[in-house]
Structure 1
Amino acid sequence: MTLILTRSDIAALLADLRDDIEAAVEGCHRDLALGRAVLPPPPAMPLPGSDGTFLAMASASAPDGLAAVKLLADLPANRARGLPVQRSAVLAVSAETGACEALLDGAEVTRARTAAATAVATRALARRDARVLGLVGTGPLARAHARALLPGRPYERIVLWGRDPGRTGETAAWITEELGVEVSVLSGPRAVAEAADVLCTLTPSREPLIRGAWLSPGQHINAVGAPPRPDHREIDTEGVVRCRIVVDAYSTARAKSGEVLIPLAEGALREDDFRCELGEVLAGTKPGRTSDTELTLFDSVGVGLQDLAVARLLIDAAHARRSGTRIELGA
């Protein structure tokens, strides 16, 4: 039988799995570094006559016993329709038998694994005495990041900016009410960048919102929001070049990340400057932060192996709790 998990099914399950998601995402990156998982670069399929593109994000994991593919639709024209710009679904099959184990809506999976990867990277790369968390962007990804980054970490306050003042105020109030942390809404990206010890950029921006001149020694930056397109980025070239760069996966960043591809094309960056993967830092085969004054950057493009890791959690939890829908898809 094949398990079908809708967005509401997944949201209900994730509410009880928050402590497990970060561990699962950390484990999948370590598995990749140690050769226990496979993650090819995703092919992009631009739609002729449209600015839309589709990505097939495939992966396979021996420890998780799954092979999976997330089909991601990135459709900017949806914004005018009042629909999500990005939509996705995850298909997971047994690595042993090839049987289709599950089909999952991708929205909640993507949000949860993205925030978890940021939390893993921040724990590995940020200074231990970081006290101020900065969020540029106030959509659902900002809330997911606040929830993922705060537990067990000594942040004293959050500084926040978003384009929409109404939504910014709502997000600030939600963080204070739900997570009990003081939030200051600041005047713009520069103010957030200059105030934060850990800075997360969470917007679908095409042009840089953060300038390198605004960054301070010892900061850690998570560049998260830009879609996987080589002409989109949130951090300018000076900012990227000033940092020690860690990517989620080199092959994916080399194909899809404007954060590194634009400086590379400009001759300001070399490929060796962004070959360090998060899993290698976690496995101890490459160093992370090397001093308290070093600037570190986690370039988060998002990879299918993270989706697979969260899918494994959800499939197991759904079977244990008898949630979701089961259909006879094939023999």
Structure 2
Amino acid sequence: MVYDTKIDFLYLSEQDMIQAGVTDMPACVDTMEEMFGLLYKGDYRMAGPNSDSHGAMVTFPENSPFSTMPKPTADRRLMAMPAYLGGSFGTAGVKWYCSNIENRQKGLPRSILMFTLNDVVTGAPLAHMSANLLSAYRTGAIPGVGARYLARKDSKVIGLLGPGVMGRTSVAAFIAVCPQIDTIKIKGRGQKSIDEFINWVKANYPQITNIEVVDSIEALVRDSDIVSYCNSGEVGDPDTYPIVKREWVKAGAFLAMPALCNIDAGMEQADVRKVVDNLGMYEAWYEEVPKPAHKTIPLIGVRFMDMIAEGKMQHDELEDIGKMIVGEAQGRKNDDEIIIMSVGGMPVEDVAWATVVYRNAVEQGIGVKLNLWDTPTLR
């Protein structure tokens, strides 16, 4: 039998990705919901011994004998995030995640990301694509999926810490699933980012009739139906992470936390429901880092794992959003319960959204076809 050995793949620039629908948040939320169902059923694989690892990161020492070796400055990452996702996707891929907070001094985004999508049978590349928007929109869509199941349907007020890229995409997702939202309270570090966020909201979401800039986290949380911390900051001391105090939180609030976060003793109580996006990933993280793990990984879901180890929480109190999506557990149970969800980010999310955008691009003739080889030199 004669096989066709020619391999072409699609290169998609950032503008190509936009044209192919990467910024379509309602579609991204739906895609992430489908992904969560597959995740809960087990039709996926990520890295690590339990197939739930976030990825593999290159780290740098504080002191190196090599003058050219990078220093471990804030948000410096060189990280590979591979995954396979089954179901209607049936693809594999890897995101190469590079970031350095010093990039902003050069007019560049903190993170510069690329994604390669592969045929799962042969391993041949299907596409190599710009991934900053891919990653940003899939990240924001996850709090949106959480809000679909866990926020009150009549939610009107968002409290947002960190009006940057993650904050924008989270707001877009919240509005996609809670159309009655009309107010956003924001707290940011600098006036420039606040002004840019306000201009973005006004340009894209005219239903938002009230934007309030607040000067404290307490003011941000109080009276908000949906709360999200999307800030960046130094990792290592949980006492410095932005906190949520129970006395601030409105009855019935949903809190989606994709960034640094800590909670007080009141929020630790069992009547506050604690949800994660993938329990296996938090278990994998917990095995990979020194304890208490929250010092190394600042997500609130990792704090939940520390609480279990400290005897402050039972393992079965920790809920998985996927179980709710497949109908094996209930989402919001009443209008008064407080629910906090940890959002960790997973490479299966990138695979899911990359597959949808790639297929859109193929159907619409978007992108540049590149040739890997007609016939491989080595076989």
User: TM-score higher than 0.5 here?
Assistant: yes
Cα-to-partner distance string for 1:195-214 (whole Å, 9 max, x where unaligned): 31101111113432232232
With over 3 angstroms needed to count, the CA separation of the structure-2 counterparts of 1:16 and 1:223, relative to structure 1, is closer
> Match for residue 307 of structure 1?
350
Structure 1 residues 1-331: aligned runs within 5 Å: 1-14=8-21, 17-39=24-46, 40-49=52-61, 50-51=71-72, 52-63=76-87, 64-79=89-104, 81-151=106-176, 153-180=179-206, 181-182=208-209, 183-206=211-234, 207-213=240-246, 214-224=248-258, 226=259, 233-238=260-265, 241-242=268-269, 243-254=272-283, 255=285, 256=297, 258-262=299-303, 264-265=305-306, 267=310, 269-270=312-313, 272=315, 275-330=318-373
Q: Helix, strand or coil for the counterpart of 1:14?
A: coil
> Match for residue 230 of structure 1?
none
Per-residue deviation, 1:169: 2.6
Residues 211 and 239, structure 1, Cα contact 8 Å, conserved in 2: no
Per-residue deviation, 1:188: 2.3
With over 3 angstroms needed to count, the CA separation of the structure-2 counterparts of 1:261 and 1:191, relative to structure 1, is same
Structure 2 unaligned blocks of 5 or more = 1-7, 47-51, 62-70, 235-239, 286-296
With over 3 angstroms needed to count, the CA separation of the structure-2 counterparts of 1:176 and 1:72, relative to structure 1, is same
**What is the TM-score normalised by the length of structure 1?**
0.88
Identity %: 22
Cα-to-partner distance string for 1:51-107 (whole Å, 9 max, x where unaligned): 234332222122202011212234345455554333322111112332211112221
Per-residue deviation, 1:132: 1.0
Structure 1 unaligned blocks of 5 or more = 227-232
With over 3 angstroms needed to count, the CA separation of the structure-2 counterparts of 1:157 and 1:305, relative to structure 1, is same
Larger radius of gyration: 2
Residues 237 and 262, structure 1, Cα contact 8 Å, conserved in 2: no
Per-residue deviation, 1:274: 6.7
Per-residue deviation, 1:237: 4.6
Cα-to-partner distance string for 1:207-234 (whole Å, 9 max, x where unaligned): 322322322321100101x2xxxxxx22
Q: Helix, strand or coil for the counterpart of 2:215?
A: coil
**What is the TM-score normalised by the length of structure 2?**
0.78
Amino acid at match of 1:187: D
Between 254-263 and 65-74, report the one with greater CA deviation.
254-263
Superposed CA RMSD in Å reads 2.4
Amino acid at match of 2:245: G
With over 3 angstroms needed to count, the CA separation of the structure-2 counterparts of 1:88 and 1:237, relative to structure 1, is farther
Q: Take 1:43 and 1:20, find their aligned partners in 2: how far apart are those partners?
A: 26
Q: Helix, strand or coil for the counterpart of 1:195?
A: coil
Q: Take 1:168 and 1:10, find their aligned partners in 2: how far apart are those partners?
A: 26
Q: Take 1:285 and 1:142, find their aligned partners in 2: how far apart are those partners?
A: 30
Residues 240 and 259, structure 1, Cα contact 8 Å, conserved in 2: no
Number of residues of Structure 1 aligned to a counterpart in Structure 2 = 324
